[in-house]
Amino acid sequence: MIIMSVDLGKARTGVAVSDSSETFAFPKGVIFEKNNEFLVQKICDKANELKAQLIVVGYPKNMDGSEGSRAEECKKIAEQITEKSQIETVLWDERCTTLSAAIYLNANDVRGKKRKETIDTESATIILEDYLRYRKNNK
């Protein structure tokens, strides 16, 4: 199954996709959109383009596990993606993924404009890798 993940942001949304064997996650770029309605459409278009059969949406819980306003907004967007695309969405805890992506980019000496352009897609890739590990270990 091809699985796509998104790391929703207020202006930039990172996208990643798995191979059909659900072994590898590949970064697929960033969607630049601030309007949620247009963002949902662009995510659905990207899912169709990548032939995604499942979409994993990063779910930004607070560090104590509670759900804040951003988590609620992500939940609503996930529901809209499912409605519009008819592709199932799964919310996936994304705590610390941006931090992990920043550490990865630091280790690879990615700085400046390039860093800003890649951190969201790296976060989406980390979310997807985590979800793929979960699926592999819980079949």
CA dist 136 and 125 (Å) reads 16
Indicate the DSSP class of residue 10.
S
Beta bridge partners of 54: 3
Quote the Cα angle for 117-122-123, to 5°: 110
Contact criterion met (CB below 8 Å) for 85 and 48: yes
Give the chain's domains with CATH numbers. Answer: 3-137 (3.30.420.140)
Query: Tens digits of per-residue pLDDT, 90-112?
Result: 999 876 566 565 565 566 565 66
Residues of the chain with pLDDT under 70: 62-63, 65-66, 95-117, 119
CA dist 9 and 27 (Å) reads 16
Both tokens of residue 125?
A: 């890739």
